[in-house]
Each structure stands twice: as structure tokens, then as C-alpha cells.
Structure 1
Amino acid sequence: MSAVDDILADLPVDDLAQQLGTDPASLQSAAAAALPALLGGLEANAQDPAGAASLAEALGQHDGPVDALNVDAADGAKIVQHIFGGNQDQVVSQLGALDGHPNDLVKKVIPLLAPLVLAYLAKQVGGKGGAVGGALGGGILGTVLGEVLKGAGQGSATSGGKSAGSIISDVLGGLLGGGRK
């Protein structure tokens, strides 16, 4: 099971869909498109030593369970800003183009998912025998991100020949380059 599948399995899709005023299928689809982009953005950031240190610190702050129905959207927005920087609108637009996801839904979903992604990664780092705060030691953070992203980059093809997973290489590669600090 991939990280995307793991995170999606824990999402209370019906409740979140109702909270956002959409149908569960649309929410599920938007989340499935957004998760690989978030994970890819984190990986791009971790390519730079300062970005990796920042990510390790963020994982330490999100080490513990997160209630998906009570996610701090302001915290999520800060995370998304750090991951995508000034490219957030471009990422949302690209994600919205996949399977015709409405941009406003994608823009609402991403900040709700970001704290869940960090909590998931913190759990994975801790599960690999690394202290979350010391995730840089021994390359544990890079190892975990590599394992997580193996499954995140794969997605079903859409009518335009793109997949949610292709956002990692196509969009984020061009927008983020070597990662943000």
C-alpha cells in the first residue's frame, strides 16, 4: 500500500466532503491528486540541506495523531506555503486540470491534507528507528521519503494522459527546481 493509499484510507471522506460542501467522490479524487504533489514538494525541499533540516523540524512539531476533522487549516496553509512557496497557485491550477478538479476544492483540500502528511511522515520516521527531531542523522529522513514516494508517484492516467503522480516530476520539478529552503 502506498503512502497516498494509507493517508486516503484514514481520511473521513464523507465528513470532510460535507464540511467542504462537496460530494465524497470529488473530495476523494482531489485528495488523491493533491497527496502526491504534497509528498513530491516535501521531497524537493528535502533535497537541500536547509530544506531537510526545516522538514525534520516540522516533522517534530507534527509527531502525533491528527484528527482529520479538526485539522488546523491555518497551520496547513503555513505548511503549504513552505512547501510550494509562491508557486502554490500554479500547483493548484495543475492539480485542478487533472480530471477536472475544481481549483477552489483543490485549494481547500491541500491545507487540510498537509498536517496529515507531516504526521504520517513523522510516524514513518519514528517507525524506522529514528527520533523525529534527529531524522537527519543517518539519512533516515531521506530513506523514509524515498520509500514513501515510490508509491506516491504512481497514479491512474487521466483523459489528458497525465496522472496525479506525474505532478511530482512534471509540475513540481519545474516549479520547485532543487527545492525551497
Structure 2
Amino acid sequence: MDVDEILKQVPIDDIAERFGVSPDVARRAVNEGGATLLGGLAKNAETDEGSAAIEKALNRHGGFTGVSKVDDVDQADGEKIVKHVLGDRKGEVTETLNKSEKTAGGIDFGKLLPILAPIIMGIIANKSKGRSGQGGGGIGDILGGLLGGGQGSSGGGLGDILGGLFGRR
């Protein structure tokens, strides 16, 4: 599974309509926002405590069957996920995303990330089913695979900035 597979499960047209942008702008924003959330999750998964917290959160999001409209997303839950994933860097990260030339087109990432977060958690939860008990790398391997699959399309630029924010270079 890679970021493209996640994109297929996000209601791009509904997001475009909600934010008043073209589907192409919405797709780019979802790609950047999704990669950011996955990067934050991967960073959190580097510690035993963070990995355990992610596993606990994934258990709450199991059984995800997708959404067809933004209104189907629990955005309050999404806000909690974003706050946990990005921590005290949430404002800095959303500001960086909002200024991105790739997605400059009217998307407010402060509003988009809470829509994406429950979708991504649900997809990861489904992906991780049956993998528990495989030892240390479980969730980290899944997140690494998701991030690895999406890196080819966004080399440099925003990815490097966000990598710096999350302590990756």
C-alpha cells in the first residue's frame, strides 16, 4: 500500500467542493497533507511509547470502510489525531503547508488535516490487522511502506521542509 492507495479512498471531489478548489488542487493538497500525517505518525512510531499510542489509536479506528463525503468524517476525532501526531508543531506544520507553492490554491490545511486524519488512521488500522504479534517493526514497517510508496512523487521542496520539521534529513 502507498499514498496513492490512500488517495483512492479519500473523497477528493467532495473536498474540492468543500474548499472551493479544483479536484487537481484538492488531490495535491490531500497528497501533501496525507504525507505529512504519515510522516508524523512514523516519527511517533520511532519510540516504544509512541508506537504503543499509535497501536491503541488504530484499535479505535479498525473496521474502516471508507467515506464518500467529508460530512461522513468525524472531524472532532480528526482534530485530536492531528494534535497528537503533530504535537506542538501543528501550527508550524500547517503554516508551512498553507504556504506551499505545490498546493497554493485556497486549501486551509488547518481544516483539511482533521478530515484526512481519521481516514488515514482507518486505512492503516485495516492494513495492520493480522500483523499484531509480529514483533517490533509492525506499525513502523507499515508506516515506512506507506511513506516509501509516496516519496517518488514529491522529491525535494515541501517534503524536505517537513522532513526538517520532523527531524528527518
**TM class by smaller structure:** 0.7 to 0.9
Greater percentage in helix: 1
CA contact (8 A) 2:9 2:67 kept: no
Compute the displacement of 1:102 (Å). 5.5
Q: How does 1:5-154 map to 2 (within 5 A)?
A: 5-65=4-64, 66-69=66-69, 70-99=72-101, 101=104, 105-126=108-129, 129-131=130-132, 137-154=135-152
SS in 2 for 1:149: helix
TM normalised by structure 2 equals 0.84
Name the CA distance, whole Å, in 1 between partners of 2:96 and 2:25: 16
Mind listing any 5+ residue stretches in structure 2 that lack a counterpart?
none
Q: Which amino acid aligns with 1:89?
A: G
Compute the displacement of 1:97 (Å). 2.6
CA contact (8 A) 1:94 1:171 kept: no
CA contact (8 A) 1:41 1:172 kept: yes
Match of 1:179 in 2: none
Name the CA distance, whole Å, in 2 between partners of 1:110 and 1:73: 9
TM normalised by structure 1 equals 0.79
Name the CA distance, whole Å, in 1 between partners of 2:14 and 2:96: 26
Q: Which amino acid aligns with 2:115?
A: L
Name the CA distance, whole Å, in 2 between partners of 1:51 and 1:35: 19
Q: Which amino acid aligns with 1:90?
A: E
CA contact (8 A) 1:91 1:172 kept: no
- CA change 1:125–1:81 in 2 (3 A) is same
Q: Which amino acid aligns with 1:47?
A: E
- CA change 1:103–1:171 in 2 (3 A) is farther
Identity score, percent: 35
Q: How does 1:149-168 map to 2 (within 5 A)?
A: 149-156=147-154, 162-163=157-158, 165-168=159-162
Name the CA distance, whole Å, in 2 between partners of 1:68 and 1:52: 29
Name the CA distance, whole Å, in 2 between partners of 1:173 and 1:154: 20
Mind listing any 5+ residue stretches in structure 1 that lack a counterpart?
175-181
